Amino acid sequence: MLIAFHKPMHVLCQFTDRSEPPRRTLAGFGLPKGVYAAGRLDYDSEGLLLLTDDGALVAAIASPKFDWPKTYLVQVEGMPDEAALRALREGVQLNDGPTKPAEVECIEAPPWLPPREPPVRVRKTVPDAWLRLTIREGRNRQVRRMTAAVGLPTLRLVREAIGPYRLDGLAAGAWREEAPPTLPARLRRSGAPRTPTTSSRASPDAPGRAGGLIRPWRRDGR
C-alpha cells in the first residue's frame, strides 16, 4: 500500500508526540492503519508525504540509489538574481559539505495554493518571490539552508512532488491511495523490510490512526 498525503504545516510526521503540550501528529487524518512515513517533512513545512506499510519501499525511497527527485515550491524573502540561481544550480557550500546541483526556476505564486495558517510573515519593505526547486538529496532542512546560503531566506516551503508522485490538487490534510512502484531487485534486496520501532499501539476502533509508526529511519528534512 502507498498513500499520498498532503501534510499541513505544524504537523509531525509521526502518530504520537510525548511533548507537553503535545503537537499535532498524523493521527486524526483517517490514514489507513499500519502505514508509516517514507521519509520526513519538517514540522514547519507542508506538502506531499508518502506513507506505506512496505518496509523495503521506505528503505528504497530513502536510499540515494533510488535517485527520486523531490520538488519544492519555495517562497523566499528577496528577489533572486542570476548569481543566486546559478549557485543553486551548480551546488552551494553548506556546513556539512557542498550540495549536488539542483534544478531551479523562478515562478509566479501558485494560484491553487491556499493561504498558510498561520500566515507567512512578510516585510512590506522587502519583496518576496517563488521558486520551484528540485533536489536529489535528503539532508536535514536542506532547501531552507540552500536558499539561505544564497541570501534568500525561506518563508514558506511546500513539497510538490516525490519522484512520479505529485500533490495534483490534493487538499491540505487529505490523502489518496497510489499504485506503488515496482522496485528494482537490487533495492528490494538491500531494502529488506524492517519492523518499525513502536512505543504505542492504536486501539482497533481508534479512528484515523495507523498504530505501528513512531519514527521512520531517515530524516528527509526541508
User: Looking at 17, 42, 53, 205, which residue is catalytic?
Assistant: 42
Q: Any residues with CB less than 8 A from the CB of 157 and at least 6 apart, and which?
A: 42, 44, 45, 46, 47, 72, 73, 74, 75, 143, 144, 222
Q: Which residues of 190-202 are buried (b: 16+ CB within 10 A; e: fewer)?
A: ebeeeebeeeeeb
DSSP 100: P
42 is catalytic: yes
Q: The cell 482497533 sits on which residue?
A: 204
186 is written with which cell numbers? 537490487
Nearest of 37, 8, 10, 34 to residue 22 by alpha carbon: 10
Q: Please state, in angstroms and rounded to a whole number, the distance separating the CA atoms of residues 106 and 147.
A: 13
Give the C-alpha separation, 32 to 38, whole Å: 14
Residue 134 pairs in a beta bridge with 71, 103
Q: If you search the block for the grid coordinates 512590506, which residue do you land on?
A: 124
Which amino acids are annotated catalytic?
42
